[in-house]
Structure 1
């Protein structure tokens, strides 16, 4: 009984020792009776409390004398920075970094004499972001940093409970502030961002002059998608030559929202086989104003993506030389012989700075390597409808120092057509393209191939892309995946250690889209307003396989949306049109006239629409409830807010029948077109190892300020009370 009384007294004392901190926040009868006012008052006081904590931690950094503060004029690191990127268009903010297996070190150079801020998030704003703020004290020249985060529902930075960023150095000159600092890739701190393989939205902010430590104020800010953990593969020691494959003064007309232009190029005359080991974009777009092209660094180039293809030309070298001397052709009307330019060797998309191949592989170049002509395909996204003079292209880097393996690129995913439909108002909608086991069994060598890198490609509503690997009935670890996809940043991803891909294995490209901001369905196509789901796979040894895709068979596609019959065309005829890339040659005469008339009536032509125009002209006969509606009108009027409807459509198109295509480098079939079921296999389970392996930190910074001393005193009193209680209990 006495022991119970002692323990009860201890609990009372312990709780009382903790109470003063809360009494300072809320006094009895202090809040108004109105609940809404109560809530607003609490939020206001919580914000004040967070700001006070942030100021307190900043004050601590001003007063502390430890490794976090340096004499900036006498110290600068000698690190070799593996990566360097401009975070803004003008180059006022430059980020350099280098990383190891467990940590990453940054150098942030910014045109400001106030603070510089850096942040990491999955979206381009600071809500929920991991932030670090640094500055150089104007009074003593010492650099300081504070580890912060953005609350989920506020745009103000708050100092973290645990400071996980370590300052290396910092200094100012007459115009710039530079700070260097490091952190662990995974700090095991819930207020910090885990830096991994996915694309990161890198945030930046500049404070005005004299804003040292005044975190909420900034004069400039922005964000840029980057992938921080990517290997450096640019060769520094081998002899390099370059070949510029570019257009010359092509006028992009203001009435073409989407334009594809193709041109043939002859390879350089080389005395022996060389290897292509990398490429870079050459963007040269000049807006036409008052009839003349002008240089304008602030203008946005309409170049959306470029692909360079090998051509498996025939024996008529004269014709190919004539084509090489021409200016090129609008994509849909290019000569039929160019269909043999089917295997990509370089694929560039907006946001990329180009690629250098892994050190063991190269792509053969020149006639001795088996190819003498190439086709450049440039996609222009000119939604602003400007007149532009363009001379863009690709700089190909090659070397006579041959590498160990001859490599090639393989295109895989969903065949580009209007049959690729993504409903609106969806948070996570999945589509899938298959490279079938029958195709790989027919075209790959007995020893299989080795995959070394992958470029994942889609458009603006894609949020995740994964390249899956299935062997038999078992899914193997994914070859490549991006869980924070951003169409503004498309760099290839090296496959660590490579991946052995055997004959008979299956490739599956899966894309996940967020269309919550859209009110109408999105169709597949080349326009930036349409969607894609593709993988460009670099592998060795070279084979004849160049493309391996799938799409939903036409009959199954339309029946999924409840349509059984159209006027004038049966499903076989419609399928033939889609198999010919939306060509109008197979249409009945009147329907062909209607489709072409609609195209000329469009204010902004969408170019090669891959069947989108046909979708607007297919008129439903059956079932009767959709009678006389065009299929596009039917799609637009479906109740997409009903989850049961969209879930059923997703399941039907994902897990249903797939029409598979297997193309060789000369555009011939590696095997006949097949219609087959989605492959049955055991899916790989995801292991959130990083989350499970962390014992999250709860340590707080020691405090030296008056306000925090009181809190520390209460903590000390609590500890003393607890010790006394334990001692009393032990003596009993």
Structure 2
């Protein structure tokens, strides 16, 4: 049920549009005529931004009111109508468009978003993501940040160590994180792209543990460092266990009532966290001050389960590449059973939320789930991925992942605007294919990913003539404890070598299939960046029956019309009561 209100006595229109354009949008337009009668039209946008009326209307007009200044319409529709011209309401729909005119339409064909005098626009919005709600009875850990971007800081990721304000001296001191609220400050809505908070884990039995803690305490009093640079202290690499993730246009997040995240070390020593904030200054403005605040909520009333975040997808290294000029290019990253077996209990883990993450080329993402020779329903699918709006998505039903399962994160990219190949990384011209699984009970596994084997890259692009070509499997010289020499031939490094290729000489379909379906090298990390001792270091697509949507998930119009009389009567009563309620509310509002 949606209320549409505009400062007009003419028509008003609203549309679901993954690309923010009229073409391909699912639209509803309504108005109130001179006699006070409300009208609506179920419409869709076609090529050239032409608006056409659907053959069948799936919207119901519940209320239509017009006063001296405003038009207010209340309408309802099924979340999924199964109409070919309608888009289903999903939590992955992120863009709406709107328009309104000061005049009622002379006929339906005169409705357009582009005529002179028509006000229009678009914004990011998901109808199914509600307000996070107020947090009661919790303590607050407020993190305040102020960072100045230089003229050359087109995109920079800044890391700062923070010390939790208390320690667990005894068992009853333990606390659970249960959510956060985010507050924008100066310039942050424009320049802040993401925030991730990682726990700085460590082995309390290690003889270097106390020295590491002392260094982290020292870092917590400093302003921080550029992440993943030569100047980044090596201790930062031990902060790899995700605790909190913030993405643009997220007001706040709440953990389910049965789930919490431990924030204090069990050994009684202080807990440290690395706050990673990514900023963008695409217009190269000098001395841009960016301020923001995060209120982290925690409680001593411990939840039933302790949760964690598992990163799955394509490993960030040079073997992940996207050729230029490709309208549709797929990347896969595997989390095989060989990695899950290292930490997941026999009863499995329960996934309850997911964050999908790619950069500007990403157009679609999904997490495929394989078990015992069959592909199960995807954990989540986003056919309208948009890097500018990356909400944390709650699953309608928690999904069990067993240690013998296989997860594959798939990403689709559009590189038709690029002249050079795109590689994985953190820069504004780089890409990523990652998913963050929020799950319980918490285990020691932090990352489970893969990337195309370097032997496949060598065979496809003849990189065997490069020196140190096996170093493709390193994330980058800045992310590893050592500083290896990257693959090169003389002064020509791997990326330059790839960008010098004449892509017209390649069979792109075969290359896509080989890189996508071929063997991968896995990366399996436990907390504190410790590699897991896996028995298999390579992975491929499982030989499984591909999951297919069940027939009958979209009942036809005839099936809807054959609903029993009792159901029709109940539906009619609900619509009637709702209509009367909204009419009463609208009359009161207009009278006031």
Q: TM-score, normalised by structure 1?
A: 0.68
> Against the structure 1 CA distance between its residues 410 and 346, is the aligned structure 2 distance closer, same or farther, given a 3 Å change threshold?
same
Q: Any unmatched runs of 5+ in structure 2?
A: 203-208, 562-592
Paired residues of 2:42 and 2:54 also in contact (CA < 8 A): yes
Tell me the distance in 1 between the aligned counterparts of 2:307 and 2:189.
34
Q: Report the secondary structure of 2:363's partner residue.
A: strand
Partner of residue 183 from structure 1, selected from 71, 77, 80 = 77
| Residue of structure 2 equivalent to 1:359 | 257
| Residue of structure 1 equivalent to 2:272 | 373
| Residue of structure 2 equivalent to 1:284 | 185
1:120 aligns with 2:9: no
Partner of residue 93 from structure 2, selected from 195, 199, 202 = 199
> Against the structure 1 CA distance between its residues 442 and 186, is the aligned structure 2 distance closer, same or farther, given a 3 Å change threshold?
closer
| Residue of structure 2 equivalent to 1:716 | none
| Residue of structure 2 equivalent to 1:636 | 499
Partner of residue 275 from structure 1, selected from 176, 196, 212 = 176
In the TM superposition, 1:64-75 aligns within 5 A as none
Partner of residue 442 from structure 2, selected from 542, 558, 562 = 542
> Against the structure 1 CA distance between its residues 175 and 403, is the aligned structure 2 distance closer, same or farther, given a 3 Å change threshold?
farther
User: What's the CA shift for 1:119?
Assistant: 0.9
Paired residues of 1:199 and 1:486 also in contact (CA < 8 A): no
| Residue of structure 2 equivalent to 1:515 | 415
| Residue of structure 2 equivalent to 1:157 | 51
Partner of residue 245 from structure 1, selected from 143, 167, 171 = 143
Deviations 1:420-460 (A, max 9, x none): 11112223211111122111111222322111111111011
Tell me the distance in 2 between the aligned counterparts of 1:681 and 1:239.
50
| Residue of structure 1 equivalent to 2:190 | 301
User: What's the CA shift for 1:279?
Assistant: 2.2
Paired residues of 1:276 and 1:397 also in contact (CA < 8 A): yes
In the TM superposition, 1:480-519 aligns within 5 A as 480-519=380-419
Tell me the distance in 2 between the aligned counterparts of 1:187 and 1:318.
60
Tell me the distance in 1 between the aligned counterparts of 2:368 and 2:464.
34
Tell me the distance in 1 between the aligned counterparts of 2:29 and 2:165.
51
Paired residues of 1:661 and 1:672 also in contact (CA < 8 A): no
Tell me the distance in 2 between the aligned counterparts of 1:390 and 1:111.
35
> Against the structure 1 CA distance between its residues 193 and 439, is the aligned structure 2 distance closer, same or farther, given a 3 Å change threshold?
closer
| Residue of structure 2 equivalent to 1:585 | 483
Q: Any unmatched runs of 5+ in structure 1?
A: 1-104, 287-298, 588-613, 621-627, 700-732
> Against the structure 1 CA distance between its residues 576 and 153, is the aligned structure 2 distance closer, same or farther, given a 3 Å change threshold?
closer
| Residue of structure 2 equivalent to 1:384 | 283
> Against the structure 1 CA distance between its residues 328 and 188, is the aligned structure 2 distance closer, same or farther, given a 3 Å change threshold?
closer
> Against the structure 1 CA distance between its residues 640 and 323, is the aligned structure 2 distance closer, same or farther, given a 3 Å change threshold?
same
| Larger radius of gyration between Structure 1 and Structure 2 | 1
| Residue of structure 2 equivalent to 1:80 | none
Tell me the distance in 2 between the aligned counterparts of 1:407 and 1:525.
27
Deviations 1:170-218 (A, max 9, x none): 4456654432211122334444333345425321112236779763345
Tell me the distance in 2 between the aligned counterparts of 1:467 and 1:225.
23
> Against the structure 1 CA distance between its residues 584 and 538, is the aligned structure 2 distance closer, same or farther, given a 3 Å change threshold?
closer
Paired residues of 2:82 and 2:554 also in contact (CA < 8 A): no
Tell me the distance in 2 between the aligned counterparts of 1:215 and 1:670.
61
CA RMSD of superposed structures (Å): 3.1
In the TM superposition, 1:429-468 aligns within 5 A as 429-468=329-368
> Against the structure 1 CA distance between its residues 167 and 240, is the aligned structure 2 distance closer, same or farther, given a 3 Å change threshold?
farther
Residue range with higher mean Cα deviation, 502-511 or 555-564:
555-564
> Against the structure 1 CA distance between its residues 584 and 671, is the aligned structure 2 distance closer, same or farther, given a 3 Å change threshold?
closer
User: What's the CA shift for 1:359?
Assistant: 2.7
> Against the structure 1 CA distance between its residues 126 and 669, is the aligned structure 2 distance closer, same or farther, given a 3 Å change threshold?
same
| Residue of structure 2 equivalent to 1:324 | 220
> Against the structure 1 CA distance between its residues 337 and 179, is the aligned structure 2 distance closer, same or farther, given a 3 Å change threshold?
same
How many equivalent pairs are there? 541
Tell me the distance in 1 between the aligned counterparts of 2:37 and 2:254.
37
> Against the structure 1 CA distance between its residues 192 and 511, is the aligned structure 2 distance closer, same or farther, given a 3 Å change threshold?
closer
Q: TM-score, normalised by structure 2?
A: 0.82
User: What's the CA shift for 1:146?
Assistant: 1.7
| Residue of structure 1 equivalent to 2:157 | 260
1:415 aligns with 2:285: no
Tell me the distance in 1 between the aligned counterparts of 2:91 and 2:189.
29
Tell me the distance in 1 between the aligned counterparts of 2:153 and 2:448.
30
User: What's the CA shift for 1:657?
Assistant: 2.2
